[in-house]
Structure 1
Amino acid sequence: MRIVEIREKTLPISSPIRNAYIDFSKMTLSLVAVITDVIRDGKPVVGYGFNSNGRYGQGMLMRERFIPRIMEADPASLVDDTGANLDPHRIWNCMFTNEKPGGHGERSVAMGTMDMAIWDAVAKIAEKPLYQLLAERYGDGQAKREIFVYAAGGYYYPGKGLDKLQDEMRSYIDRGYSVVKMKIGGDSLAEDQRRIEGVLSVLQDGQRLCVDANGRFDMDTAIAYAKALGQYDLFWYEEAGDPLDYELQSILRSYYPNPMATGENLFSMQDARNLIRYGGMRADRDWLQFDCALSYGLVEYLRTLDMLREHGWSPARCIPHGGHQMSLNIAAGLGLGGNESYPDLFQPFGGFPDGVEVKDSRIVMPELAGIGFEGKANLISVMRELSA
């Protein structure tokens, strides 16, 4: 078997929303289709992938380096020992040929997007949900189909006052979420406290709030927020400072004993390892948000999970950023703690397959081959346009 063609396309996911650092008015993503020569129901098996929000499309890197390397390789070098399926690890090694270590910011996104499409194809060829394939290959064989999810939103938006923020959070609660997230750091501390207290006022017993600064703060501001946030029973305080400022993260623990979260902007096992070594993260309460779609894909994510175990961390402390179905499959197959969800934003790429309901911030993964994109009508229609 072999890969016949790899196609990519840049698509807009623009929105007037902003967080503490960027606005999304010109945001794009890359969509990839990996077309194989395996025929099912009279059609080629196609794997699809896309990168998470917050990083732009990476079409040029794919076209100039990664797609040509795969297509120029001996097809026999890209399949597993049976010859009946693709081997994501061998394909990853092919993509990384002639690449120096380090410099993970954009290259990791391009490879992560393509890696997603490859795993989708692998699971479809195996005629299994990706989560079940992962459980069998790398876990205990038993996928955990019920997954924790939280609703991410609470962005700054032109003309969006406290009333609209409260209405947004109520809508998530009404749709079955018991944990919601809002942005901070885009206004003054006093105004952010007013917004936080406004959201907390609409939550009921057992419902929790996360706050996310998107790496905006310097040391003094991060500490000032930590002191102010300590009075609230927050689910977590996320990404206070620059993602590579491990000293800031380490010092912050002295001022904020409650759970913290970070990691969505660390794009390699090595950077994740430095966070664990030097960032002062606490394995009994803090959360890790590494996103495979931005960090070289699942092949690299498996290395990251191995590293975490070596340092005494459970995969259950990982709740990936991105809100995509790839991380849902990893959570179900490899025992992660859950996944982010965007109920309203970044459509059609966010959200779950049609018919999946959220109850008490949990969903049950459907039994769909591959990642499950075919179960989301508005998404698969866009994907099939690329592979037609």
Structure 2
Amino acid sequence: MSVRILDVKEVTQPIASPIRNAYIDFSKMTTSLVAVVTDAVRDGRRVVGYGFNSNGRYGQGGLIRERFRPRILEAAPESLLDESGENLDPDKVWDTMMQNEKPGGHGERSVAVGTIDMAVWDAVAKIEGKPLFRLLAERCAREADPKVFVYAAGGYYYPGKDDSMLRAEMRSYVERGYTVVKMKIGGASLDEDRRRIEAVLDEIEGDAQLAVDANGRFDLVTAIDYARMLRDYPLFWYEEAGDPLDYALQSALSEFYPGPMATGENLFSHQDARNLLRYGGMRPDRDWLQFDCALSYGLCEYLRTLEVLSGMGWSPSRCIPHGGHQMSLNIAAGLRLGGNESYPDLFQPYGGFPDSVKVQDGHIVMPELPGIGFEGKADLIRVMRQLAE
């Protein structure tokens, strides 16, 4: 029996928080929550695929409602099906969304398309009755690995937050099983950030490694000044020192920082990924790539990005996506990426894992839930079903 998309629903919701990084505060941040409603029924319930955009980019309700939803609903239903005619074809849905869109301009629309794409893949895997990571491994002729490395992201600037509070936050992540923790830099002076880094390293010494993230704040001179300071410490990585599209800055920085660097969360297409690897001086033996499918046109585009990486000598194991969401967790498990970001205490209910999942020795084990696994996270699926039902 063929499957039809009955509706694409969207709601823009606040994920407001008083935290800030080096560039933005999150007091007015929003996210788009999307439900792709199908006429398929599994286990007595209508199949609905869910998606949302990652933190750090605003909700895209206008684009979703005005451009991408109408294209899906106006398409001939059979044009969205796979060869069996019994399930949706994510690539055909993606192509339908991108009709009448010019090349380039990988900004807000990449977020809108990525959000819907997440929901489509969730629906497809549910219709198949399989976890997305299993389905993805099968389709890409890979062997899934349900054990995924995760690190704890936090260390934001916060009104009244002193070093003792920062230390306590990082200690709490270690106590919850994380072996790598990340903190923000660039929102204070270099000397103040040095003090904050040393406080955290003193707190977690021997129990975890520390990564630092400048959120694209620095010009080249400042990035180099920080590199000279940071290379004195055994950091897991130095992340997004300068503007994400300033490949020359990233390339120059590698001459001053021999340790691992990470970037890519604000690149939204396989073309941008290719330019980063062409011109950014990234080193495949030590550096990390953080492309986030929920911000960059979705999993369909992420697969194209991985093809670019492979053609340029990079392993998918050097990818640790930004965002801390279950979609990237499934990709990491299905395609054997290097791991995934996690926000243990922030951006709820969207971030994190299903309720039964615990971090042990810096890893989680994926539960065998159909689709992306949102149904295993009680506070999140409650919000999602309010939209769809």
Report sequence identity in percent: 73
The one-letter code sitting in structure 2 at the alignment partner of 1:297 is G
The reply on whether 1:386 has 2:387 as its aligned counterpart is: yes
Q: Secondary structure at the match of 2:267?
A: coil
> Alpha-carbon deviations, 1:169-210, whole Å to 9, x = none?
000001000100000000000000000000000113251000
Give, in whole Å, the separation in 2 of the partners of 1:303 and 1:213. Answer: 28
Task: Write the mapping of 1:82-93 to structure 2, written as runs, cut at 5 A.
Answer: 82-93=84-95
Q: Secondary structure at the match of 1:201?
A: helix
Task: Write the mapping of 1:69-88 to structure 2, written as runs, cut at 5 A.
Answer: 69-88=71-90
> Alpha-carbon deviations, 1:101-126, whole Å to 9, x = none?
00011000000000000000000000
Task: Write the mapping of 1:320-339 to structure 2, written as runs, cut at 5 A.
Answer: 320-339=321-340
Give, in whole Å, the separation in 2 of the partners of 1:90 and 1:80. Answer: 8
Give, in whole Å, the separation in 2 of the partners of 1:342 and 1:358. Answer: 12
The one-letter code sitting in structure 1 at the alignment partner of 2:97 is M
**2:129 counterpart (118, 127, 130):** 127
Q: CA deviation at 1:6?
A: 0.8
Task: Write the mapping of 1:1-388 to structure 2, written as runs, cut at 5 A.
Answer: 1-140=3-142, 142-205=143-206, 207-388=208-389
* Aligned residues of 1:139 and 1:333 also touching (Cα < 8 A): no
Q: CA deviation at 1:39?
A: 1.2
> Alpha-carbon deviations, 1:224-279, whole Å to 9, x = none?
00000000000000000000000000000000000000000000000010000000
Give, in whole Å, the separation in 2 of the partners of 1:379 and 1:208. Answer: 30
Q: CA deviation at 1:324?
A: 0.1
Q: CA deviation at 1:80?
A: 0.1
Give, in whole Å, the separation in 1 of the partners of 2:45 and 2:222. Answer: 56
The one-letter code sitting in structure 1 at the alignment partner of 2:359 is V
Detail structure 1 runs of 4+ shifted over 6 Å in the superposition: none
The one-letter code sitting in structure 1 at the alignment partner of 2:64 is M
For structure 1, which runs of at least 5 residues remain unmatched after alignment? none
Q: Secondary structure at the match of 1:251?
A: helix
Q: Secondary structure at the match of 1:254?
A: coil
The one-letter code sitting in structure 1 at the alignment partner of 2:10 is E
Give, in whole Å, the separation in 1 of the partners of 2:41 and 2:340. Answer: 33
The one-letter code sitting in structure 2 at the alignment partner of 1:243 is P
Give, in whole Å, the separation in 1 of the partners of 2:141 and 2:347. Answer: 31
Give, in whole Å, the separation in 2 of the partners of 1:312 and 1:136. Answer: 23
Give, in whole Å, the separation in 2 of the partners of 1:236 and 1:43. Answer: 45
The one-letter code sitting in structure 2 at the alignment partner of 1:311 is M
* Aligned residues of 2:21 and 2:157 also touching (Cα < 8 A): yes
Give, in whole Å, the separation in 2 of the partners of 1:41 and 1:124. Answer: 10
* Aligned residues of 2:19 and 2:158 also touching (Cα < 8 A): yes
Give, in whole Å, the separation in 1 of the partners of 2:6 and 2:269. Answer: 29
* Aligned residues of 1:230 and 1:258 also touching (Cα < 8 A): yes
Q: Secondary structure at the match of 1:202?
A: helix
Give, in whole Å, the separation in 1 of the partners of 2:308 and 2:59. Answer: 29
Q: Secondary structure at the match of 1:47?
A: strand
Q: CA deviation at 1:42?
A: 2.7
Q: Secondary structure at the match of 2:40?
A: strand
Q: Superposition RMSD on alpha carbons, in Å?
A: 0.6
> Alpha-carbon deviations, 1:311-359, whole Å to 9, x = none?
0000000000000000000000001000000000000001000021101
The one-letter code sitting in structure 2 at the alignment partner of 1:349 is Y
Q: CA deviation at 1:293?
A: 0.1
Q: CA deviation at 1:55?
A: 0.3
* Aligned residues of 2:174 and 2:207 also touching (Cα < 8 A): no
